[in-house]
Chain A
Amino acid sequence: MQVNRRQFFKLCAGGMAGSTIAALGFMPEKALADVRNYKLLRATETRNTCPYCSVGCGILMYSLGDGAKNAKSEIFHIEGDPDHPVNRGALCPKGAGLVDFIHSPNRLKHPEVREAGSNEWKRISWEEAFERIARHMKADRDANFVEKNADGVTVNRWLTTGFLAASASSNEAGWLTHKFTRSLGMLAVDNQARV
C-alpha cells in the first residue's frame, strides 16, 4: 500500500481542519501548499511498524525514488502514523531515531568471511557464501546426525549445529526458518523470547 503524499493530502484536505497543523493556527491549504508539499511532492509514503519494542507503533516512511528500474529508493524521513490506534502519530525517542538506524554506517552491505585465525574480513559473493556454508553444514550433519537413540527409537536429530532465530524479523521469515531448521533435524533452535 503506497499512498502518494499528494493524493493523501487531496483526500484528507477536508479532514485536516482538526489536525495539529490547524491547531497550530495555520490555514491547512496554505501550510501544505507553501511548505510541506515542497519537500513531500516527490515523496512516496509507505506504512510500516516500528521494529523496536512490542508496542508496535505505526510509522509512515517517506522515500525518494519513483520505482524506476535504476533508481534506488531511499527513505529520508519517518514519522508516527496519525491514524494508528495505539500511537496516534507519536513516537518515543527510540522510534524517533529510526531513519538513522536504516542509514547506520554499520549496516552490512556485502557477504563476508573471516577465515580461521584471521584478523580481517574478506568480501565474498553470495554464491561462495551459500556454497561454503552448505558444505560446512553437510559435513557436520553427515558426521553427527542421530537416526536412532540407544533404545532404537527413530529420533532423526542433528544436535551439533544450532540456530538462534531473530526477534524482529517477520512471521514469514520465522515460518521459513522453522521449515529450514526442523527439516534438517535441528533441535537447538531458540529465539529472544527467553532472553
Chain B
Amino acid sequence: MTNHWVDIKNANLIVVMGGNAAEAHPVGFRWAIEAKTRNKAKLIVIDPRFTRTASVADFYAPIRTGTDITLLSGVIRYLLETGKYNKEYTLAYTNAALLVNPDFAFEDGLFSGYNAEKRSYDKSTWSYQLDEQGFAKRDDTLADPRCVINLLKAHVARYTPEMVETICGTPKAAFQKICEYIAETGAADKTTSFLYALGWTQHSIGAQNIRTMAMIQLLLGNMGMAGGGVNALRGHSNIQGLTDIGLLSTSLPGYLTMPSEKEPTLEAYLSKYTAKPLADGQMNYWQNYPKFFVSLMKAMWGDKATADNGWGYDLLPKWDKGYDVLQYFEMMHAGKVNGYFCQGFNPVASFPNKNKVVASLSRLKYLVIMDPLATETSTFWKNHGEQNDVSTADIKTEVFRLPTTCFAEEDGAIVNSGRWLQWHWKGADAPGEALTDPEILAGIFLKLKAMYAKEGGKFPDAIQSLSWSYLDPHEPKPEELSKELNGRALADLPDPKNPGQFLAKKGEQLPGFAALQDDGSTASGCWIFAGSWTQAGNQMARRDNSDPSGLGNTPGWSWAWPANRRILYNRASCRPDGTPWDKARTLIKWNGEKWVGIDVPDFKADEPPGSPMGPFIMQTEGLGRLFALDKMAEGPFPEHYEPFETPLGTNPLHPKVISNPAARLFKTDKEQLGGHEAFPYAATTYRLTEHFHYWTKHARLNAIMQPEQFVEIGEELAAEKGIVHGDTVKVSSKRGYIKAKAVVTKRIKALNVNGKKVHHVGIPIHWGFEGVAKKGFIANTLTPFVGDANTQTPEFKSFLVNVEKA
C-alpha cells in the first residue's frame, strides 16, 4: 500500500475489484465502512460473484474473470473523452506531456519489437524522445501527437462501452454507472481508493491489471493523497516484509537487484543500476544505489568486504535467468534439482497443478521442511486415496521435518500491508523440541561451515566470509538481526551540513538511510528499514496510538518504511505551488524554509514549491508514468489478453493474439491446457472469511466454522446439469479433478460474453488431506501452470473446468 489501512476512511469512493476485502481482510475492511459512515463515501464492487463485500456495497456490477484491463481501460477512455480528470495534476505530475519515440507502435495486439520465437520484446522503441542533454522532450500544449496522453487516448479508443460489454459481460448501463462514480473523484478535493488483492495479481496479465488502475489514480490526481493511493491488500502477514528483504530469486534486500552474469564486475553492476536522470533538476533517488549496495555488502560480509575486492562482489551468486517457483518446479520435474527447503510454505497445496508438484518433489534426493504444522508437502509421499494417489515405495526422496516455533513463541517484526513494521513479543514456550527459524538455520549453517573448514570443497570463500557475529552463534537473537537490518556506523560519519557534528559515531545504530555511505563506513542489511532500530532503540516497538491530525496517521505507532512515512508520494498532495489540493487532508506544507507536516515529507526537505523537481522522486523523470517505458514485459500500455484457458477461444480485440504474448509457457504445461469445448466453464479460486489459506484447517474453531469442502455454482448451471444444493460434484480440468459439495447460489449469474453464455464456477481453496477439518482435495489440482509475464504469479483466478454430478 502507498497508504495504509486506517487511511481508507478518508476516501470518497471505494472500488473493490480483484479482491473481497470483507471476507479476506475483514478487520481492515471496517475502514471502508468507516468511510461510508463518516465520509458519506460510496462503495462499489466489480466481481464475477456477488461477494460478501458486494452485499454491503452501494453498487455491484458483474464481470467475467480475467477481463479487468478491458473494463479499466474503458474507464480511462471515459475520463479522457469527458475531460473529467485532474488535468493540472496530470500535466504537472505525470508523463502525459512527454514525447514518445517515433518508432513506438501498437498494431493488431502487439507492440513494436515483438519476437515471436522468444515470446519477448525488444523494448528499444518503448522510450522517450531525448534532447541534446539526454532529457526527455515535452510539449506542455499537448498538441504533439507523440505526447504520451495522445497515444494513450488512441490506445484506449477501442475500449468502448460496447467492447466492455462484449468482453467482460458487464452490462453497458452498469459500466456507465461505474465510470460516473469514478469520474466524480477527478475533482481536486475527492479521492478514490481501490482495494485489490490476489484477484488482480493471480492472472497471466496480473501486473497490468494493477497498472491500469494505477494509471486511473494518476489521472484522478489520487496518488500521494490521503484517501487515495494504490492499496494492495497483501495475502499473508509478512509477505510484505519478506519481499522487502529480497527473498525472491533475482532480488536483494530493499528492492535492489541481484547481480546477473551480464554484470561481471562491480563497476558494470553499479553503472547499470545507478539511475541517471531523464529530466532536469530531479531528485532521482536511485542515484544513491551504490550507498545501499555497499552498505548491504558490509552487512553480509563484514570486514571481508573491502574496496579492493569490490566489497565482496564475487561472493554473491550471479544469475543467468530468474529461478522463480514455476521455473524451478519445471526443473525439478525434469530431474535437474536434488534438494529443496520449504520454510513455512506448503507448495503441494499452494502451487498450481498439484499433481505436477507432487511428481516434482518425488524426484528430489532430499527435502527439508521447516514448519510449525504437519503440511501436505511434508507428507506428499503418503497415499491418501483419490486425494493423493501416490506409490509411496517408489518415492526415494528423504524428507526431514523440522518443527519451528510460531508467532506466539518468538520475538520479531512483521510488516503489514501499510508498510508498518510491528514488533511482537514471545508469550509462550515452544511445544516439544521446536526451535526458531534462526536457530535451525544456524544449526545447519554452522555444521556446513565446519565441514568446509575441515574437508574443503567448492568455493568455501562465501561461507567462511559470511558475517556471523552473534553473541551465541547457535542462537542469533531477533534483536541482533533486527539491528543488522537497520545498520550501524563503522566509522564516525561527519555531517556534511554541520561541520563538527556527526550523523553517527562509530558503532552507533544509524538514524536513517540518509546516513548511508558508499565507502564502506556504514553497514545496513536493508536500506529501507534504516531508522527502525536507532540509537534511541527499537522504533517498531512504539505503541503510541495518538492521531493528532484526525486523518488516522498515528505516527507514533510502530514504524513504517521508509523513514516512518505513512503516505508515499505525499508531495503530490499539494499543487506545484505548494497549496494542498484539499485543505481538509493537508499532509505536508512548505513553511518558507522546508516541508513540514503531519507526515514525513516524501521530497527533498528544502526544495521550494515551484521548482522543476517532480513528486515521484524514485523515478528518473520525477513523474508518474502513464507510459511505462521498458518496465513491463508485455507493453508500456496495458492491453487485454485472454486467460490462457479462455471460455471464448478467441480475443475479440485481436483474434491472432489471444493471450499474453510475453508470458512464459513450458511445453509440457502447454499440453496440459484445456479448451472450452471439453471444459466449458470459467473457474476461479478464492478464500473464505473463516479460514486462512491451508493453515486454519489445523485449528479446531475454524474447522468447526467451515468443516467441509464445497464449490459454488449458479442456479442456471445447476439446473442445466441436474445438480441440486448439497450434491457431491466432480470438478475437472485438463490437469486433474476434485470432488466437493455443491453450493447452488444466486450469487453467481451467467454472463453474456461475445455472443455466448459464460458460467462461472467458484472454488474455495482451504481443504487438503491434512488437518482437523474434514479431509478434502487440494483445489490447486485444477489450476494451470502458467504465470504473469512480469512476476510469474500463477493464473489461479482464471481457468477452465467441467462440472458433473459425482
Q: Which residue of A is nearest B791, CB measured?
A: A194
B793 touching A194 by the CB < 8 A rule? yes
CA distance A79 to B200 in the complex (A): 32
CA distance A173 to B444 in the complex (A): 14
Judge if B548 is at the interface, Cβ distance under 8 Å.
no
A contact residues around B698 at 8 Å (CB): 101, 104-106
Judge if B676 is at the interface, Cβ distance under 8 Å.
no
A73 touching B328 by the CB < 8 A rule? no
Judge if B427 is at the interface, Cβ distance under 8 Å.
yes
A177 touching B437 by the CB < 8 A rule? yes
Task: Please give the distance in Å from B680's CB to the nearest CB on chain A.
Answer: 27
A contact residues around B246 at 8 Å (CB): 178
B338 touching A96 by the CB < 8 A rule? no
Q: Which residue of A is nearest B379, CB measured?
A: A114
Contact residues, B21-68 vs A (CB, 8 A): 24-28, 30-31
Judge if B579 is at the interface, Cβ distance under 8 Å.
no
B426 touching A46 by the CB < 8 A rule? yes
B contact residues around A187 at 8 Å (CB): 249-250, 258, 317, 319, 323
B481 touching A175 by the CB < 8 A rule? yes
Interface majority SS (helix, strand, loop, mixed), chain A = mixed
B429 touching A73 by the CB < 8 A rule? yes
Task: Return the contact of B484 from the options A173, A175, A194 (Cβ within 8 A).
Answer: A175
Given A83-B543, A166-B344, do A184 and B462 touch, yes or no (CB 8 Å)?
yes
B459 touching A51 by the CB < 8 A rule? no
Task: Please give the distance in Å from B74's CB to the nearest CB on chain A.
Answer: 29
CA distance A132 to B787 in the complex (A): 35
Q: Which residue of A is nearest B233, CB measured?
A: A54
B contact residues around A140 at 8 Å (CB): 338-339, 365
B contact residues around A4 at 8 Å (CB): none
B contact residues around A166 at 8 Å (CB): 238, 242, 343-345, 370, 437
A172 touching B237 by the CB < 8 A rule? no
B27 touching A90 by the CB < 8 A rule? yes
B315 touching A183 by the CB < 8 A rule? yes
Instruction: Give A144-178 as 1s and 0s: 1 = Cβ < 8 Å from B's Cβ atoms.
Output: 11010101011111111111111111111111111
Given A130-B447, A172-B438, A189-B247, do A114 and B261 touch, yes or no (CB 8 Å)?
no
Judge if B217 is at the interface, Cβ distance under 8 Å.
no
B458 touching A133 by the CB < 8 A rule? no
Among the 9-residue stretches B107-115, B399-407, B488-496, B502-510, the one with 4 or more Cβ atoms under 8 Å from chain A is B399-407
CA distance A48 to B547 in the complex (A): 21
Task: Please give the distance in Å from B87's CB to the nearest CB on chain A.
Answer: 35
Taking residues whose C-beta sits less than 8 angstroms from the other chain, chain B's interface range is 35 or more
Among the 9-residue stretches B127-135, B413-421, B748-756, the one with 4 or more Cβ atoms under 8 Å from chain A is B413-421
B401 touching A112 by the CB < 8 A rule? yes
Among the 9-residue stretches B166-174, B389-397, B599-607, B721-729, the one with 4 or more Cβ atoms under 8 Å from chain A is B389-397
A156 touching B343 by the CB < 8 A rule? no
Contact residues, B463-480 vs A (CB, 8 A): 463, 465-467, 476, 478
A contact residues around B351 at 8 Å (CB): 195
Known: A56-B415, A166-B437, A172-B438. 20 other contacts (CB 8 A): A47-B543, A52-B237, A56-B5, A85-B557, A101-B699, A107-B406, A108-B434, A113-B401, A121-B401, A133-B447, A134-B444, A141-B457, A167-B236, A167-B237, A167-B238, A169-B404, A171-B421, A172-B476, A175-B253, A179-B467
Interface residues of A (CB under 8 A from B): 1-2, 44, 46-58, 61, 63, 65, 72-75, 83-87, 90-98, 100-102, 104-119, 121, 126, 129-138, 140-142, 144-145, 147, 149, 151, 153-180, 182-195
A-B contact pairs, 21 of them (CB 8 A): A55-B417, A56-B414, A93-B689, A93-B705, A94-B689, A106-B374, A116-B397, A130-B443, A130-B444, A133-B400, A136-B365, A142-B457, A142-B458, A149-B318, A159-B323, A159-B331, A164-B342, A164-B345, A191-B248, A192-B242, A193-B242
